[in-house]
C-alpha cells in the first residue's frame, strides 16, 4: 500500500461527498415538484408524457397502488425486453447480423436488466445487436434505476407525512427520476467519456491486421453513452465482455476516476435527498458515514490483501513490490482496482475493472461479503437507500429497547408490523443466495459450469448467486453461467432479490405514513450521532453478514488457509 | 416508597420446587408454540433424540456423542421453561392467598333495594350476583363483589389487597364510595350496588395477572418475537444449506452437529428468557403495590412523554403551612413568634398547628401550659381568631379583618407591613396579619409546602425525557409560584375536568404519550383518555374502572417507579437480545472449524479458542448455550438497571456491557466448558 494509493482513494470519495449534497438538494426539489434550473426545458416534456400516458400527476397513490405500478411496469419491461431479444435477428440496427437470443438467456438477461442487476451470462460484443443494446438494455438501464429512485423517494415521504395514506405517484416519480436526474447526468458524463477517449459510434466492428499479419475484429459501438448510464444508474452491465477492464470502456486513469465517481454520486445523492425530505440532513450524513466507513474498510482490506500478494508467487520469485497483479490492469494499479472492486460490490453496480476471480482469496472475499451485506454501501440508486432504511429500522429497534422506549425512527414508531416486513425483506438474500448455492454445489448441472475445483469453485457458485440475489451483476469469472440451469436460477434469484424485497419495503412505507410523528425527547435515542453510526454498522455486519460465515468459511477462507499451506486451485 | 409485598429472593426453595415440575409440564409443544425459538429447539431436540435411538439400535455412528447433544438440547428447552416457571412462581403465592379469600363468599341480596331502611334480604352465593344487584354488608361480612356504596358508612379492612392493616372509611357519595370484593367490613353497614360480573372483579383480574394465566404478549414483545423468529429462520436457512455446501467440500455432516450448530446460533438466550422478563416486570410492579390491568399499560408507561400530576397531595402536602414570620419595625421575630404561638394554641386547624410547629421548631419556644387565657375562636363574621391572655389581646387573621380590628386603613399601615403582605401574595402564599391590641406585630407567611425531595424526582423525570405538568385549581399566580418551586415543566391553573381532558387530547395530538393519576369521579374521563391512567385504590369505582392501573398505596408519585419498571422491561429485553446475537460470533469460531477440520486440517486456524477436539468443541458450545440461560435468570427477573442519564449514555453503556460483553463472554465461557468437558471425560 502506498500513500499515493490512499490519496487517490481519498480524493475520489471526497469528490463524491462534495457533490452528493447539492445533487441531493436538487433531487429533493425535483421530487417535491418544485422548479429547478432544468424545469423550463423539461417541464413541458414531463407534462407531455403525463398527457400521453393519461396520468394525473396530482393524484397520489397509497402503498398498494404504488407497488402495483412498480410491479406492472417491471413485468411489462421483462416481457418487452424478452421479446426484443428473441426477435433480435429480424430487428434493425444489427450490422453484425446476430441471431435471436436463446430463451433461457433472453429470460436471464431480461430479468437481469429490469432488476437493475445487469448480470451478463453472454459476451455483449458477440451477442447483442446495437438495437438490443440501445432500445433494450439501455432503456432498462435508465428505467430500472429510475424505479429504484422512485421507491426511495416514496419511502422518504412516509417519514414526513403523518396520518396519511398516499406515498406519491409512481408514474410521476419514475418520469422525474429519468428526466430530471438520470438523463441530464448521463448526457454530461457521456460527453466527458467521449472526451476521455471512449468510442461512440453506430458503426459495426472494425477490421484490423495485426503486426503478425493476422486479421482481428475490433468491436465498437455506442460505448460512451452506455458506459455513462451503466455507472450512473449503478447498472454495471458492460458493452464488452470484460466490462471496464477493456481499454475501450475504460481507457485511462481519468476515465477510471470518473467511472467510480459516477457510480457513487447518484446513490449518495439519494441518501442526501432522503435527509432533506425527512428534514434531517444530519441523518443523511450519519447514514453516509456508516457507508463510508464500511467502504473504506472494505477497500483497505482488498488493497492490503492484493498488495500483500500470493505467497506461492512470491516464493517462486515474483517481484513482491507489485503484489498480486493477476487479472488486473496495469493502467489502474492496486489502489484504484481495490476501490473499484469495493465500490462496485458495495454499490450493486457490478461493473469490474479487474477479474475478481483472480483476486487473492481474502481479496476476493471482500467483494463477495460486501454484496452479502445487502447492497447498502451506498447500494444501487434508490435501492441502497431503502435497503439502508430496513437496516436502520432493525438498528433502532434493538437500540430503542436498550434505552427502554418503544423504538422509533425519525419520529415513527417501529412496531410489530414494521418488524415483520423488515424481517421478510432481510430473509430474501440468505434464502436466494444460500438456497440456490447449496443446490448448485451438489447437482451435476451446477457443477458443470465450474472452471475450478475445491473452495475456489464454491466461491464461483456463491459469488454468482450472491451477485444475482443482491442485484449486483458482477461476475467472479470462471463460472460458465450461460447454461439453462444457471440462466434460469440466476434469473429467479435476481427477480426475488429485487421484487420480494421491494414489496415489504413499500408496505413498510405504507405503514409508516399512517403513523403520527412522535416528537423527540431526552428519552429518545438520537439517530444522527456517532453512536448510531456504530450501531448501524454492527447491525449491517450481524444481520447482513453473520449467516454467510459458514459459506464463506468453506469458500474464500478455506482457499486462503490452503493457499498458505501451498495448495492452489 | 414502601414495598409491602416482599419480593421473594431469586432462588427461593419454595418457588424452585414447583418451578422444576412446571418446567417439565411446559414441554407440551402446544404450550411451547407461543415461543418460536424454544419450539424450534424442542423439535431439533426430538430429532436428535430419534437419531440417538437409531444409532443405539443399529450401533452405527457415535451414540455417546449424539446422546449428549440430545440431552443438552433438552436441557436448553427445560432451562427456558424453568425461567418462565420461576418468574410465574413468584406471583403465585400472592395469588393463592387472594383466592382463598374469594372462595365460599355469600351475599345478602336486598329484596327491596329502593326502600330506605328495608333490610329484607336473601342469602345467595357471591358467584350468582349480577351487575346492578344491591347487597347489604354488615360488620364482619366480606364484601361479595366490586361495587359502589349507595347508602351507609363503614370502616373496611382492605388488607387483603393492599397489605395495609389500618381500616379505611367507605361511604356513599364523594370520592370514597368504591368497595372491592374480598375486603371485610369491620364496623357499621353498607348498601352496595354491584358493578362487575363475578369472575371479572378487581381481585379476579389481579389473580389472573399475578398468575400470568391471562398474560397476553405486549406489542413490543410481539415485535421482538418477530425479530427472533426471523433470525431463527435466517439461521435455519444457513444451517440447512450448509449441508449442501459441505457435501461439495467433501464432508457429510451429521444431523447431530447441524442441530448443535442451529440451536447455538438461534437466539435461545433471549428466546428462553423473554416471557420471564415480562412476568418479572409485572411482579416488580405488584411489589410496588401497583396493579396493572395489562402488560401493555406497563410498557406504555416506559414511553410516557408527559406526566400530569395533581398539585394537592402529590406535589404539596395539601394544607397551607406557616413558613416564616415577618415582623414590623420595632418588633423582633422572637416577639412575633411568641405572640402567634399564644394566639394559635387553641387553633386546631392544620394552619394553626403548623404555626405552633414553626414557632417551636424554628424559634425554640416551649408550649405554655394549657388552660391559661381565653381563646377567641375563628368566626365567619370576624374572620379572625386569637387569645386574650394576661391582659394581652392577640389576634391573627385575614389582613383586612385584622386591620379592621386594629382600626386602621391599609394606607395607614406601616410600609414594611404592606410590602411584606404584597410580597407573600405575589409568591403564591397567603399572608395572615398578626396584631396585639392596637398594634400590628407582623405577618405570617402561609404557603403550600412542596414535599421535600419532589424537585429531585422531577429532575430525574426530566432526565428520562418526561415532562411534568402540575394540575391545580389555584389561580395562575399561586400556581406559577408553586410550579417554579417544585420544578415542574408546566402547569394547568384553575383546572376543570374538561380542561384536563383537553390538555391530554392536545398533547396526544402532538404524538405524545400521557400518564396521569387521579382518584375522583371527575378524573375518570381524563384517566380513560390518558395512555397510562393510574387510579388510587382509595378513589371511586369510576376512577378505578377508567384507569389502566390501580395504586394500592394511593401514592401519586409512584408513577415514577411505574415508568422505570416499564423502561426496565424493554431494556432487559433489548440488552439480552443484543447479548444473544453477539454470542454467535464465538459459537461460529467454536463449531465451524470443528465441522471441517477432519477434511481440511488447515481450517484449524479458525479454532482460536484452542478447543481440545472437534466433538468437545461442539458439545461445549451447546452446553454453554444451555447454561447461559440459567446464568441469566437472575438478571431477567431483576431487570437491567435503569439510570436517568439520557438515551445516548444509556445506550452506550448497554452496548458496551451486553454487546461487547456478549462477543467476549462466550469465548471465555466455551473455553472453560471445554476444559471441564475434557477434565470430566465426557468426550
- From A398-402, A470-474, B559-563, B674-678, the region with the lowest mean pLDDT: B559-563
What confidence score (pLDDT) does residue B211 get?
Answer: 63
User: Residue B20 pLDDT more than 80?
Assistant: yes
Closest Cβ–Cβ partner in B462, B511, B577 for A401: B577
Rounded average pLDDT over B279-305: 82
Q: Residue range B133-152: average pLDDT?
A: 86
Q: What is the pLDDT of residue B45?
A: 96
Residues of chain B contacting residue A548, judged by C-beta atoms under 8 Å apart: 238
Predicted confidence at residue A106, as pLDDT, reads 95
The neighbouring-strand residues paired with B450 are B316
What is the pTM (predicted TM-score) of this model? 0.85
What is the per-residue pLDDT for B3?
A: 38
- Which residues 545-564 of chain A have a CB within 8 Å of chain B? 546-551, 553-554, 557-558, 561-562, 564
Q: Is B584 a catalytic residue?
A: no
Question: Contact A426/B642, CB-based, under 8 Å?
Answer: no
Residue B284 to residue B280: CA distance in whole angstroms:
6
Per-residue confidence (pLDDT) for residue B4, from 0 to 100: 40
Nearest to A401 among B570, B596, B606 (CB): B570
Q: Has residue B508 got a pLDDT over 50?
A: yes
> Which residues constitute the domain of residue A122?
23-204+220-279
pLDDT (tens digit, 9 = 90+) per residue, A518-555? 877 777 788 898 999 999 999 999 887 889 999 999 99
Give every CB contact of residue B350 below 8 A, 6+ residues apart in sequence.
Answer: B319, B320, B321
Report whether pLDDT(B525) > 60: yes
**Rg over CA atoms, chain A:** 23
Given the C-alpha cell 363574621, which residue does it identify?
B381
Long-range Cβ contacts of B122-129 (<8 Å, 24+ apart): B126/B181, B126/B198, B127/B198, B127/B199, B128/B198, B129/B194, B129/B198
CB A403 to CB B650 under 8 A? yes
Higher pLDDT: B465 or A305? It is A305
Assigned domain for A139 exists: yes
Give the residue ranges of the annotated binding site of B for Mg(2+): 519, 523
The pLDDT of residue A239: 80
Q: Is the pLDDT of residue B7 over 70?
A: no
Interface touch B248/A546, C-beta < 8 Å: no
DSSP secondary structure letters along B293-326? S-HHHHHHHHT--EEEEETBTTTEEEEEEEEEEE
**Quick check: B650 and A426 CB within 8 A?**
no
Q: What are phi and psi of B255, to 5 degrees?
A: -60, -35
| Consecutive H or E run containing B582 | helix B559-596
Nearest chain A CA: its distance from B119 CA (Å)? 54
Q: How far apart are CA B648 and CA A531, in angstroms?
A: 8
- Higher pLDDT pick, B281 / A428: A428
Provide, as residue numbers in chain A, all residues whose Cβ is less than 8 Å from the Cβ of B231.
Answer: 423
Cis, peptide link before residue A435, omega less than 30° from 0: no
Contacts of A379 (CB under 8 A, 6+ apart): A234, A267, A346, A347, A348, A385, A387, A388
pLDDT at A154 over 80: yes
Catalytic residue, from B133, B303, B310, B584: name it.
Answer: B310
Contact residues, chain A, for B578 at CB < 8 Å = 398, 402
A168, β-bridge pairs: A61
Residue B320 phi, psi dihedral angles, 5° rounding: -75, 140
Tell me the residues of chain A between 192 and 251 that have a Cβ less than 8 Å away from chain B: none
pLDDT given for residue B223 in this prediction: 92
Question: Which residues in chain B have Cβ-Cβ distances shorter than 8 Å to A442?
Answer: 244, 247-248
- CA-based nearest residue in chain B for residue A421: B226
Asked whether residue A452 is domain-assigned, the answer is: no
β-strand partners of B393: B388
What is the least distance, in Å, from the CA of A331 to any CA of chain B?
Answer: 36
Beta bridge partners of B433: B397, B443
- Say whether A546 and B584 touch across the interface (CB within 8 A): yes
For residue B1, the model assigns a pLDDT of 34
pLDDT digits (tens, 9 = 90+) for A403-414: 888 888 999 999
Phi then psi dihedrals of residue B512, to 5 deg = -90, 155
Please, which pLDDT band fits residue A504 given cuts at 50, 70 and 90? Answer: very high
Within B322-475, where are the H helices? Answer: 333-344, 350-363, 399-406, 415-426, 454-464
Do residues A401 and A446 touch, judged by C-beta distance below 8 A? no
Q: Which of A404, A441, A524 sits opposite B302 (nearest CB)?
A: A404
B424 confidence band (pLDDT: 50, 70, 90): confident
| A24 closest CA partner among A264, A188, A194, A191 | A264
d(CA B545, CA B556): 17
Complex prediction ipTM:
0.93
**pLDDT range class, residue B210, cuts 50, 70, 90:** low
Annotated binding site of B for ATP: 347, 351, 378-385, 396
- Who has greater pLDDT, B101 or B207? B207
Phi and psi angles of residue A470, each rounded to the nearest 5 degrees, phi first: -85, 5
Cβ–Cβ under 8 Å, residues B214 and B295:
no
Check if A430 contacts B (Cβ < 8 Å): yes
Task: Evaluate if residue A378 carries a pLDDT over 60.
Answer: yes
Strands B168-171 and B134-138, by their bridges, are unpaired
Q: What band does A317 get if pLDDT is binned at 50, 70 and 90?
A: confident
Q: Is the dihedral of CA A124, A499, A142, A346 positive or negative?
A: negative
Tell if the CB–CB gap between A550 and B646 is shorter than 8 Å.
no
Q: Do A523 and B244 touch (CB under 8 A)?
A: no
The reply to whether residue B588 touches residue A549, judged by beta carbons under 8 angstroms, is yes
The packing angle between helices A281-308 and A253-278, to 10°, is 150
* Torsion of the alpha carbons at B203, B207, B212 and B218, rounded to the nearest 10: 10
**Domain annotation covers residue A253:** yes
Q: Kind of pairing, strands B467-471 and B490-492? A: parallel
Dist. CA B649–CA B465, nearest whole Å: 13
Is some CB atom of chain B closer than 8 A to the CB atom of A431?
Answer: yes
Which A residues in the span 389-418 are in contact with B, Cβ-Cβ below 8 Å? 394, 397-406, 411, 414-416, 418
Pair type for strands B392-397 and B430-436:
antiparallel
What are the tens digits of pLDDT across the range A209-256?
Answer: 888 888 888 888 888 988 999 999 999 887 888 889 999 999 999 999
Residue B490 half-sphere exposure toward CB, CA atoms < 13 A: 12
Residues B293-317 pLDDT 10s: 777 788 888 888 888 887 776 787 7
Query: What's the confidence (pLDDT) of residue B234?
Result: 94
Query: What span, in angstroms and rounded, lies between the C-alpha atoms of B304 and B440?
Result: 52
Q: What is the pLDDT of residue B100?
A: 65
Domain count, chain A: 1
Other CB atoms within 10 Å distance of the CB of residue B200? 12
Report the run of H or E that residue A35 belongs to, with start and end: none
Q: Beta-strand (E) ranges in A387-481?
A: 408-409, 412-413
Tell me what the mean pLDDT of segment B329-342 comes to: 88
Q: Please write the tens of the pLDDT for every residue from A26-64.
A: 999 999 999 999 999 999 999 999 999 999 999 999 999
- For B651, the closest of A402, A458, A553 (CB atoms) is A402
Please tell me what DSSP assigns to residue A221: S
B574, B621, B653: best to mutate for the A interface, most A CBs within 10 A? B574
User: Confidence band (pLDDT; 50, 70, 90) for B334?
Assistant: confident
- Is A402 close to B658, i.e. CB distance below 8 A? yes
Total Cβ atoms within 10 A of residue A253: 14
| Among the partner residues B226, B237, B651, nearest to A531 by beta-carbon distance | B651
Answer for the pair A417, B310: CB distance below 8 angstroms, yes or no: no
Three-class SS state of B475: coil
Half-sphere exposure of B366 (CA within 13 A, CB side): 2
Greatest alpha-carbon pair distance for chain A in Å reads 78
Chain A residue numbers touching B246 (CB-CB < 8 A):
554
Say which of B230, B248, B466 has its CB closest to residue A523.
B466
Considering the domain boundaries, does residue A407 fall inside one?
no
Q: Show the cell assigned to B533.
A: 391512567
Give the integer Cα–Cα distance in Å for A381 and B614: 46
Range from A335-344, B51-60, B212-221, B613-622 carrying the lowest mean pLDDT: B212-221
Average pLDDT over residues B314-342: 84
Contact B258, B44 (CB under 8 A): no
Give mean pLDDT, residues B218-222.
86
* Alpha-carbon gap, residue A313 to B80, rounded angstroms: 54
Residue A33, pLDDT score: 92
Predicted confidence (pLDDT) per residue in A142-152, tens digit: 999 999 999 99
Does the residue A319 lie in any domain? no
Helix (H, G, I), strand (E, B) or coil at A455: helix
Angstrom distance (rounded) from CA A229 to CA A235: 7
pLDDT digits (tens, 9 = 90+) for A155-182: 999 999 999 999 999 999 999 999 999 9
Q: Which three cell numbers stand for residue A443?
A: 447437482
Best of B37, B216, B222, B245 to disrupt the A interface (most A CBs within 10 Å) is: B245
Q: Say if A159 falls within a structural domain.
A: yes
- Report the share of chain B in percent with pLDDT over 70: 91
Rounded Cα gap, residues B416 and A75, in angstroms: 89
Most B-contacting residue of A402, A459, A563 (CB-CB within 10 A), to test interface: A402
Whether A524 and chain B come into contact, CB under 8 Å, resolves to yes
Per the domain annotation, does A69 fall within a domain?
yes
User: Cell digits for B312?
Assistant: 394537592
Question: In this predicted model, which residue has the larger pLDDT, A369 or B182?
Answer: A369
* Candidates B247, B648, B658; nearest CB to A525: B648
Between CA A300 and CA A84 the distance in angstroms is 43
- Residue-wise DSSP of B150-168: EEEEEEEE-HHHH---S-E
In a domain, A324, yes or no: no
Q: Model confidence at B5, in pLDDT bands (50, 70, 90)?
A: very low
Residue with the larger pLDDT of the pair B326 and B536: B326
> What does the pLDDT read at residue B519?
72
How far apart CA B661 and CA B683 sit, in angstroms, is 29
Instruction: Say what the pLDDT of residue A500 is.
Output: 96
- The answer to whether A441 touches B247, Cβ cutoff 8 Å, is yes
Q: Sorting pLDDT into bands at 50, 70 and 90, what band is B510? A: confident
Are the beta carbons of B430 and B446 closer than 8 angstroms?
yes
**Beta bridge partner(s), residue B533:** B516
Q: How far apart are CA A275 and CA A25, in angstroms?
A: 9
User: Do residues A236 and A230 lie in contact, with contact meaning Cβ atoms separated by under 8 Å?
Assistant: yes
The cell numbers describing A28, all together, are: 429533493
In this prediction, residues B102-116 reach a mean pLDDT of 76
pLDDT reading at B200 higher than 80:
no
pLDDT band at residue B103 under the 50/70/90 scheme: low
Tell me which chain B residue has its CA closest to the CA of residue A394: B227
**From CA A354, how far away is CA A329, in angstroms rounded?**
7
Q: How far apart are CA A465 and CA A476, in angstroms?
A: 11
Which residue ranges form the domains of chain B, and what is each CATH number? 106-208 (2.70.150.10), 305-315+451-552 (3.40.50.1000), 322-447 (3.40.1110.10)
Q: Give bridge partners of residue B312 from the DSSP assignment.
A: B316
Contact A438 B464 (CB under 8 A): no
Are B602 and A420 an interchain contact pair (Cβ–Cβ within 8 Å)?
no
Residue B2: predicted pLDDT: 37
Least confident of A490-504, B324-338, B453-467, B660-674: B453-467
- The predicted structure's pLDDT at residue A94: 86
* pLDDT at residue B206 in the model: 67
B235 to A414: CB separation less than 8 angstroms, yes or no:
no
Given an 8 Å threshold on Cβ–Cβ distance, is B245 in contact with A551? yes
* pLDDT given for residue B535 in this prediction: 83
The pLDDT mean for chain B works out to 85
A547–chain B nearest CA distance, Å? 6
Lowest mean pLDDT among A29-33, B440-444, B455-459: B455-459
Average per-residue pLDDT for chain A? 92
Q: Residue B554: is its pLDDT beyond 90?
A: no
What percent of chain A clears pLDDT 90, i.e. is strictly above it?
A: 72
| pLDDT (0 to 100) of residue B371 | 62
Amino acid at each position: 500500500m502506498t500513500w499515493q494509493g490512499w490519496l487517490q482513494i481519498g480524493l475520489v470519495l471526497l469528490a463524491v461527498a462534495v457533490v452528493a449534497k447539492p445533487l441531493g438538494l436538487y433531487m429533493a426539489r425535483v421530487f417535491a415538484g418544485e422548479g429547478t434550473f432544468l424545469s423550463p426545458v423539461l417541464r413541458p416534456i414531463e407534462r407531455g408524457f403525463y398527457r400521453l400516458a393519461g396520468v394525473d400527476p396530482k393524484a397520489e397513490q397509497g402503498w398498494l397502488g404504488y407497488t402495483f405500478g412498480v410491479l406492472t411496469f417491471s413485468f411489462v419491461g421483462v416481457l418487452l425486453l424478452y421479446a426484443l431479444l428473441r426477435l433480435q435477428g429480424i430487428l434493425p440496427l444489427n450490422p453484425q447480423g446476430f441471431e435471436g437470443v436463446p430463451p433461457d438467456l433472453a429470460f436471464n438477461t431480461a430479468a437481469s436488466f429490469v432488476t437493475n442487476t445487469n448480470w451478463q451470462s453472454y459476451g455483449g460484443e458477440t451477442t447483442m445487436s446495437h438495437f438490443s443494446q440501445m432500445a433494450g438494455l439501455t432503456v432498462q438501464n435508465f428505467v430500472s434505476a429510475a424505479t429504484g429512485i422512485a421507491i426511495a423517494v416514496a419511502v422518504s415521504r412516509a417519514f414526513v407525512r403523518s396520518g396519511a395514506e398516499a406515498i406519491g405517484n409512481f408514474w410521476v416519480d419514475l418520469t422525474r427520476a429519468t428526466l430530471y436526474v438520470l438523463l441530464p447526468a448521463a448526457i454530461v458524463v457521456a460527453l466527458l467519456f467521449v472526451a476521455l477517449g471512449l468510442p461512440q459510434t453506430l458503426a459495426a466492428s472494425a477490421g484490423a491486421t495485426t503486426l503478425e499479419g493476422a486479421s482481428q475484429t475490433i468491436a465498437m459501438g455506442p460505448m460512451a453513452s452506455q458506459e455513462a448510464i451503466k455507472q450512473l444508474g449503478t447498472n454495471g452491465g458492460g458493452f464488452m465482455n470484460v466490462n471496464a477492464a477493456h481499454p475501450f470502456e475504460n481507457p485511462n486513469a481519468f476515465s477510471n476516476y470518473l467511472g467510480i465517481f459516477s457510480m457513487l454520486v447518484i446513490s449518495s445523492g439519494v441518501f442526501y435527498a432522503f435527509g432533506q425530505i425527512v428534514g434531517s440532513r444530519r441523518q443523511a450524513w450519519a447514514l453516509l458515514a456508516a457507508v463510508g466507513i464500511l467502504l473504506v474498510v472494505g477497500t483497505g482490506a482488498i488493497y492490503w490483501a492484493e498488495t500483500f500478494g500470493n505467497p506461492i508467487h512470491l516464493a517462486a520469485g515474483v517481484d513482491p513490490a507489485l503484489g498480486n497483479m493477476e487479472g488486473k490492469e496495469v493502467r489502474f494499479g492496486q489502489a484504484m482496482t481495490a476501490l473499484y472492486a469495493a465500490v462496485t460490490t458495495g454499490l450493486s453496480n457490478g461493473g469490474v475493472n479487474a477479474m475478481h476471480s483472480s483476486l487473492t482469496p481474502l481479496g476476493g472475499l471482500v467483494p463477495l461479503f460486501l454484496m452479502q451485506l445487502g447492497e447498502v454501501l451506498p447500494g444501487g440508486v434508490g435501492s441502497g437507500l431503502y435497503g439502508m432504511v430496513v437496516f436502520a429500522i432493525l438498528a433502532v429497534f434493538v437500540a430503542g429497547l436498550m434505552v427502554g422506549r418503544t423504538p422509533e425512527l425519525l419520529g415513527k414508531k417501529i412496531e410489530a408490523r414494521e418488524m415483520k416486513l423488515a424481517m421478510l425483506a432481510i430473509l430474501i438474500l440468505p434464502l436466494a443466495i444460500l438456497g440456490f448455492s447449496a443446490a448448485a454445489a451438489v447437482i451435476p448441472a451446477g457443477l458443470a459450469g465450474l472452471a475450478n475445483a475445491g473452495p475456489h469453485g464454491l466461491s464461483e457458485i456463491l459469488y454468482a448467486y450472491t451477485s444475482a440475489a443482491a442485484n449486483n451483476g458482477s461476475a467472479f469469472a470462471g463460472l460458465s453461467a450461460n447454461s439453462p440451469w444457471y440462466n434460469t436460477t440466476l434469473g429467479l434469484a435476481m427477480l426475488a432479490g429485487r421484487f420480494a424485497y421491494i414489496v415489504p419495503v413499500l408496505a413498510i412505507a405504507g405503514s409508516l405514513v399512517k403513523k403520527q410523528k412522535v416528537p423527540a425527547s431526552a428519552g429518545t435515542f438520537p439517530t444522527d450521532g456517532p453512536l448510531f453510526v456504530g450501531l448501524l454498522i454492527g447491525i449491517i455486519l450481524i444481520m447482513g453478514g453473520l449467516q454467510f460465515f459458514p459459506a464463506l468459511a468453506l469458500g474464500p477462507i478455506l482457499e486462503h488457509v490452503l493457499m498458505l499451506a501451498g495448495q492452489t486451485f | 416508597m414502601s414495598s409491602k409485598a416482599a419480593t421473594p429472593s431469586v432462588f427461593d426453595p419454595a418457588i424452585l420446587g414447583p418451578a422444576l415440575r412446571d418446567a417439565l409440564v411446559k414441554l407440551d409443544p402446544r404450550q411451547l408454540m407461543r415461543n418460536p425459538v424454544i419450539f424450534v429447539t424442542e423439535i431439533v431436540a426430538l430429532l436428535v433424540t430419534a437419531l440417538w435411538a437409531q444409532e443405539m439400535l443399529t450401533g452405527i455412528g457415535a451414540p455417546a456423542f449424539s446422546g449428549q447433544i440430545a440431552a443438552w438440547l433438552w436441557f436448553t428447552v427445560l432451562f427456558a421453561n424453568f425461567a418462565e416457571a420461576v418468574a410465574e412462581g413468584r406471583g403465585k403465592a400472592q395469588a393463592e392467598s387472594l383466592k382463598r379469600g374469594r372462595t365460599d363468599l355469600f351475599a345478602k341480596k336486598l329484596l327491596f333495594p329502593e326502600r330506605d331502611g328495608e333490610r329484607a334480604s336473601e342469602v345467595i352465593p357471591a358467584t350468582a350476583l349480577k351487575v346492578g344487584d344491591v347487597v347489604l354488608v354488615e360488620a364482619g361480612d366480606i364484601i361479595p363483589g366490586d361495587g359502589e356504596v349507595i347508602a351507609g358508612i363503614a370502616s373496611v379492612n382492605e388488607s387483603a389487597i393492599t397489605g395495609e392493616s389500618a381500616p379505611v372509611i367507605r361511604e356513599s357519595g364523594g370520592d370514597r364510595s368504591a368497595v372491592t370484593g374480598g375486603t371485610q367490613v369491620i364496623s357499621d353497614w353498607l348498601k352496595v350496588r354491584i358493578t362487575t360480573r363475578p369472575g371479572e372483579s378487581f381481585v379476579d383480574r389481579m389473580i389472573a395477572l399475578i398468575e400470568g394465566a391471562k398474560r397476553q404478549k405486549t406489542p413490543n414483545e410481539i415485535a421482538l418475537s418477530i425479530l427472533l423468529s426471523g433470525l431463527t429462520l435466517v439461521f435455519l436457512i444457513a444451517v440447512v444449506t450448509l449441508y449442501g455446501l459441505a457435501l461439495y467440500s467433501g464432508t457429510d455432516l451429521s444431523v447431530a452437529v447441524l442441530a448443535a450448530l442451529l440451536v447455538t446460533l438461534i437466539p435461545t438466550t433471549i428466546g428462553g428468557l423473554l416471557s420471564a422478563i415480562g412476568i418479572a416486570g409485572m411482579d416488580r410492579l405488584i411489589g410496588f403495590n401497583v396493579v396493572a390491568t395489562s402488560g401493555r399499560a406497563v410498557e406504555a408507561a416506559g414511553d410516557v412523554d408527559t406526566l400530569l400530576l395533581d398539585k394537592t397531595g402529590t406535589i404539596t402536602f395539601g394544607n397551607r403551612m406557616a413558613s416564616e414570620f415577618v415582623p414590623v419595625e420595632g418588633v423582633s421575630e422572637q416577639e412575633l413568634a411568641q405572640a402567634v404561638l399564644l394566639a394559635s394554641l387553641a387553633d386546631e386547624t392544620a394552619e394553626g398547628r403548623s404555626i405552633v410547629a414553626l414557632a417551636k421548631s424554628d424559634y425554640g419556644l416551649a408550649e405554655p401550659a394549657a388552660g391559661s387565657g381565653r381563646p377567641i375562636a375563628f368566626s365567619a363574621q370576624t374572620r379572625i381568631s386569637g387569645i386574650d391572655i394576661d391582659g394581652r389581646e392577640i389576634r391573627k387573621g385575614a389582613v383586612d379583618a385584622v386591620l379592621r380590628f386594629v382600626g386602621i386603613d391599609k394606607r395607614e399601615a406601616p410600609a414594611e407591613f404592606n410590602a411584606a403582605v404584597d410580597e407573600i401574595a405575589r409568591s403564591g402564599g397567603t399572608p395572615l396579619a398578626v396584631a396585639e391590641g392596637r398594634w400590628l406585630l407582623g405577618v405570617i407567611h402561609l404557603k403550600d409546602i412542596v414535599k421535600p425531595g419532589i424537585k429531585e424526582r422531577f429532575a430525574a423525570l426530566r432526565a428520562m425525557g418526561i415532562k411534568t405538568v402540575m394540575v391545580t385549581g389555584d389561580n395562575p399566580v399561586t400556581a406559577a409560584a408553586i410550579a417554579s418551586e417544585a420544578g415542574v415543566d408546566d402547569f394547568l391553573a384553575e383546572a376543570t375536568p374538561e380542561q384536563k381532558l383537553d390538555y391530554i387530547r392536545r398533547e396526544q395530538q402532538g404524538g405524545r404519550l400521557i400518564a396521569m393519576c387521579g382518584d375522583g369521579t371527575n378524573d375518570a374521563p381524563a384517566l380513560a383518555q390518558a395512555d397510562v391512567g393510574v387510579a388510587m385504590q382509595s378513589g371511586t369505582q369510576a376512577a378505578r374502572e377508567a384507569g389502566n392501573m390501580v395504586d394500592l398505596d394511593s401514592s401519586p408519585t409512584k408513577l415514577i417507579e411505574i415508568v422505570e419498571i416499564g423502561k426496565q422491561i424493554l431494556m432487559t429485553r433489548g440488552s439480552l437480545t443484543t447479548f444473544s446475537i453477539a454470542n454467535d460470533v464465538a459459537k461460529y469460531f467454536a463449531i465451524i472449524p470443528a465441522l471441517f477440520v477432519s477434511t481440511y486440517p488447515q481450517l484449524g486456524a479458525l479454532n482460536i479458542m484452542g478447543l481440545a477436539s472437534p466433538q468437545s468443541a461442539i458439545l461445549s458450545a451447546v452446553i454453554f448455550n444451555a447454561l447461559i440461560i440459567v446464568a441469566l435468570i437472575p438478571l431477567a427477573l431483576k431487570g437491567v438497571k435503569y439510570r436517568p442519564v439520557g438515551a445516548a449514555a444509556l445506550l452506550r453503556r448497554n452496548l458496551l456491557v451486553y454487546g461487547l460483553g456478549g462477543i467476549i463472554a462466550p469465548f471465555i465461557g466455551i473455553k472453560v466448558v471445554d476444559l471441564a468437558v475434557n477434565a470430566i471425560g465426557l468426550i
